[in-house]
Chain A
Amino acid sequence: MDNMYTEYYLVVDLATGEAEEVELEEEFVEQYVGGAKLNLALYDKYKDEDPIVFGSGLFTSTLIPGSCLGVLTAKSPLTGKVAHASITWNAGAELKFTGYSFVVVKNKAAEPTYLWLHDEIADFVDASSIWGKDTWEATDAIRDEQGEDRIQLLIIGKAGENKLTTAQVINNYWGDGDRFGFGALFGEKNLKAIAMRGMGELELDDADAFLEKAEDLFKDVVAKVGAAKGFDAADYADISADLKAAAAKQTHRVDADFNSPLAYKVYLKYREDPSVMDMTDNWNPGVLVSDPIGFAAIGKAVNPDAAGEVLEKVFRLGLNPVAVASKLTAKDAAGAIAELEKLAESSEAEKFDAVFSPMAPESERTEAAYIAGICPVLAAKVDTLNADTYAELASLTTGLDFDADAFKM
């Protein structure tokens, strides 16, 4: 396709070390559109080979506001059902720029491996030297090895390596929308990470008409988001007043996902004065609260002023904060961190009460966002980010004919 998507998707076989480019046919896109819907079609196509699918939405990487979304689709080791995890931040956008809008990862590698996707090239890289490292060390090591600090990664820590259902796939350093134990699937496959960076370009059908519509939508979205930022913008998470007050004393700056006006991610500094804006010698002054629901859960389990530091450990070990919060008994940071280290070493998979709607409430708008490639947190806040809007924009950008039903599963 020469519009909105790359020409190919990629099918990787970890068992043989082979990667196959498959044409992303127009009819396939017409039928399945993108994101969770197209991922599911690919999952079904390769389901006998234990696939994990990472895919972008139709508008991922474009100027439509909130166009950050990547979706990770696989069979959850926790539920036994196929599930879709939202991946925000920059990984979804970077996937498309690698030259592959979707990647299907099949079977199991014999030795620890990471997949390095860049400029229509897929490399299988020996990960034995980073197996056992936490997600922060491993992310740094891969970025150093490939010489690029804007490489985006889906990566696992100890919990994933140990195949725990409480494991989570981490997005660079930060937790994201995997509440399904997909980290354990990466571990099963000996897959430490999928690393992505690309210089790709996406073409569209009617650029002038698109720009006009996209700008109108952008203005509307910015007006509706208003001044909301930080935890006020993450009001889908039940963050207690005590936790908010403790976090306010540690708040450094707020961050947004790729091409999103909603700065709902809060960086907390607890190893440095949060008012310090300069870069100091302290390489890890704090943590990005990338998952407000996970932060709320940890904040209920431990002292509010320890929640950031404990969340950091959760991310470094590649654990799902919602899954492990209820297991913590210590209230202080050192005690909780020691408990987390033990949890990540545990050898048995276990069930837990999980929240299965990781980002934003379930609704038609959330569903449409998962197909369109729009951040569901933003879509939940803005009524015009809906299936009708996407259908109109999709027809303009692709030259194909879409209606609102296309953005329903």
Chain B
Amino acid sequence: MSIKVEPQKCINCGACELACSFYRDEVFTTMSASVMMYREEVRNYFGLMLKEEDGMIEGRPEGAKFVAEGETSDSEAGASAKPILMREPCDKCKDALCVRFCPTGCLTEVD
């Protein structure tokens, strides 16, 4: 099981951050999630990043791509997402809360 990211569907509500953090610690915070929103706010350039064991999925407005650990991101938006490198990777939990609380289908579970 893994999480598929379709960033074009994202509305940047951040429910996934809250939900993943709640799954991990049963508290409300945005800080312990494996998924993280980023937003270049004044330009409305936004999406989300999902930390995985061997890298991360960058969900940019123009599309999602996997960036392996050690590779560098080729866009300025990588900078605002840097803190995700400190996060725990997605543990690929079943029936994931981030998916259950995503209102747009931006995040889905796939086999």
Contacts and interface: CB of A to CB of B under 8 A. Distances in A.
Interface string A230-268: 000000000000000000000011111111110100010
Contact of B62 (A63, A211, A277): A277
Interface in B1-57: 8, 11-15, 18-19, 22, 25-31, 39-46
Given A201-B29, A215-B101, A256 B11 contact: yes
Contacts of B104: 261, 263
Name the 7 nearest CB pairs between A and B, nearest first: A261-B103, A267-B44, A256-B11, A202-B28, A263-B11, A201-B27, A256-B13
Contacts of A201: 25, 27-29, 31
Contact of B28 (A63, A261, A269, A277): A63
B35 to A, nearest CB: 14
Interface of A: 61-63, 65, 90, 97, 136, 140, 149-150, 172-173, 199-204, 207, 211, 215, 218, 222, 225, 229, 252-261, 263, 267, 269, 277-279, 282-286, 288
A279 B28 contact: no
Contacts of A256: 11-13, 103
A248 to B, nearest CB: 16
Contacts of A203: 26-27
B41 A97 contact: no
Contacts of A65: 103
Contacts of B22: 63, 207, 211
B59 to A, nearest CB: 12
A76 B84 CA distance: 42
Given A215-B100, A258-B13, A259-B18, A202 B44 contact: no
Contacts of B100: 215, 218
Nearest to A259: B15
Nearest to B103: A261
B73 interface: no
Contact of A63 (B12, B19, B40): B19
Given A172-B41, A256-B12, A279 B75 contact: yes
B28 A62 contact: yes
B15 A252 contact: no
22 contacts: A63-B15, A63-B22, A63-B101, A65-B103, A136-B42, A149-B40, A173-B42, A201-B31, A202-B29, A204-B28, A207-B22, A218-B100, A225-B103, A256-B13, A258-B13, A259-B13, A261-B13, A261-B103, A261-B104, A279-B45, A279-B76, A284-B43
Contacts, number: 103
B77 interface: yes
Interface residues on B, range: 20 to 34
A286 B44 contact: yes
Contact of A97 (B29, B46, B61): B29
Given A63-B22, A201-B27, A283 B42 contact: yes
Contacts of B18: 61-63, 259
Interface of B: 8, 11-15, 18-19, 22, 25-31, 39-46, 61-62, 75-77, 80, 100-101, 103-104
B44 A288 contact: yes
Nearest to B17: A259
Among B15, B18, B28, B76, find the residue whose CB has the most chain A CB atoms closer than 10 A.
B28
Given A203-B27, A253-B61, 8 more contacts: A63-B22, A199-B31, A218-B100, A225-B103, A252-B44, A254-B11, A285-B43, A285-B44
- The winner among B39, B42, B77 for most chain A CB atoms within 10 A is B42
Nearest to B28: A202
A20 B39 CA distance: 33
Contacts of B39: 149-150
Contacts of B31: 199, 201
A222 B15 CA distance: 13
Q: Which of B46, B61, B75 has the most CB of A within 10 A?
A: B61
Contacts of A136: 42
A320 to B, nearest CB: 21
A282 B30 CA distance: 30
A284 B42 contact: yes
Nearest to B44: A267
Nearest to B45: A279
Given A63-B18, A63-B101, A215-B100, A255 B44 contact: yes
Contacts of A140: 42
Contact of B12 (A149, A255, A278): A255
With most chain B CB atoms within 10 A of its CB, the pick from A203, A222, A259, A260 is A259
A314 to B, nearest CB: 15
A278 B44 contact: no
B41 A173 contact: yes
Given A215-B100, A215-B101, A278 B62 contact: yes
